[in-house]
Structure 1
Amino acid sequence: MLTGAVFLVTAAALVAQPAVPGLLDHVRRDGAAIDAGQWWRLLTGMFFQDGGLFGGIFNLAVLAVFGALAESSFGRVRWIALYFGCGLFGQFLSYLWLRPVGAGNSMCVAGLLGALAVALLRAPARHGVQLSKQVFLVPVLVAPLAVFDTVLHDNHGLPALLGMVLGFLLLPRVRPAA
């Protein structure tokens, strides 16, 4: 339900971008504008997409899959903390260190992916998964890819690593009732 609501708001923002000329320029993360006091761009940058229609559709598809899994694994309150905590962390670090101009929900989803990787390793039965060699490779690859992204100054690596830490700390002992 929560994943669906965030999906719809993000999809509406994607549809609004071409309908309202210049909208993306007014809502994306922009270091100079943030320095001038437009701090809210750190938030709006998580809903609008700088990757065009294809990038936006890809981000929405990934949100639909991993968002639903994370909501099922962590519950709604923890999902909010993971999604927006990792996303805001990524936006802020991008503003400070990596790419001061941009937009997209991919850093939010990277955090969810990191949390899911830890959840799958810690409690695979909770997800109805037998931890076969193939399934085991998925969460084991997330950490090195996140580190690799970070070394390359890609702004998805650090939110994924934060998601892993938060996923470890926030994973409920019992499966939450939706």
Structure 2
Amino acid sequence: MDLVIGLCLWVVYLAGWTAIRGATAHTPQERLPRPTPWGIGLFAAVAAPSLLQFALPGLYDAGRRDVAAIADGEWWRFLTSLVLQDGGWLGTAFNLVTLAISVALVGTVLRGPVMVAGFLVGGVVSNVLTVVLLGESGAGNSMATLFLVAATAILAWFRVGRGRTGRGRGGALPVAALTAGAVVLLVLHDQHGLAVTSGILAGVAAALAVRRSADA
């Protein structure tokens, strides 16, 4: 089961990155984008406490998504758990590497403040859904990152007209893979499925709002 979930996460990440890259790169040979100052700041804000928790173990317990503590009114854990990790060194490395790649790509589509807001809102929404629907404790930035990638991928896809014509490098395949990954994760009752699905819905809503504004 863990292997299937892990493969699904890679599919979702790669599909989202491919969709964003395909919508923003003019040629396949174009260099990968560099992270913006906002992206660097977001990465640093997550990486610093994520690494510091290994020197200060009490930091994790104080800020993780603890279902019982949240029920007692510690709502701030929905936010602080985004900058802590529950997967040990390996899980932390995976989450930080995928975050670094994601902010570099997302920064080509979204303005810095919007990217940071999307990460925070997506992470909090995903944490709330995880507690309410699954009752799971934990920590990590993976859900916030996946929400951001999924929403940006859908928005970028619509923005270049793929939602209407299917034109452009990569076509609809990455978006289809992204959606399929979300469905499988939901079927497996994995919390990341909630994040990806919420991101897809947010991306569709944002794309429709942009289109409405442009047509007005």
Q: TM-score, normalised by structure 2?
A: 0.71
* Superposition deviation, residue 68 in structure 1: 2.1
- 1:136-172 deviations in Å (ceiling 9; x for gaps): 4222111121122122111111221221222233355
> In 2, Cα distance between the equivalents of 1:65 and 1:154?
23
Asked if 2 retains the 8 angstrom alpha-carbon contact of 1:29 and 1:41, the reply is yes
What is aligned with 2:33?
none
What is aligned with 1:77?
113
Letter in 2 for 1:64: A
Letter in 1 for 2:58: G
Asked if 2 retains the 8 angstrom alpha-carbon contact of 1:29 and 1:103, the reply is yes
Asked if 2 retains the 8 angstrom alpha-carbon contact of 1:86 and 1:160, the reply is no
Unaligned regions of 5+ residues in structure 2, if any? 1-36, 162-166, 212-216
Letter in 2 for 1:17: Q
* Superposition deviation, residue 110 in structure 1: 0.9
After alignment, is 102-111 or 57-66 more displaced?
Answer: 57-66
What is aligned with 1:40?
76
> In 2, Cα distance between the equivalents of 1:151 and 1:39?
28
* Superposition deviation, residue 54 in structure 1: 1.3
Trace 1:13-52 onto structure 2 (pairs within 5 A).
13-52=49-88
- Identical columns (%): 35
Count of residue pairs brought into register by the alignment: 169
Asked if 2 retains the 8 angstrom alpha-carbon contact of 1:30 and 1:101, the reply is yes
Asked if 2 retains the 8 angstrom alpha-carbon contact of 1:150 and 1:158, the reply is yes
> In 2, Cα distance between the equivalents of 1:81 and 1:16?
24
Letter in 2 for 1:12: A
Tell which structure's C-alpha radius of gyration is larger.
Answer: 2
Select which of 157, 164, 168 maps to 1:131: 168
Unaligned regions of 5+ residues in structure 1, if any? 174-178
* Superposition deviation, residue 10 in structure 1: 1.1
Asked if 1 retains the 8 angstrom alpha-carbon contact of 2:150 and 2:178, the reply is yes
* Superposition deviation, residue 60 in structure 1: 1.1
* Superposition deviation, residue 72 in structure 1: 1.9
What is aligned with 2:146?
110
2:123 is the alignment partner of 1:87: yes
Q: TM-score, normalised by structure 1?
A: 0.84
> In 1, Cα distance between the equivalents of 2:107 and 2:135?
29
What is aligned with 2:5?
none
Runs of 4+ with deviation above 4 angstroms? none
What is aligned with 2:26?
none
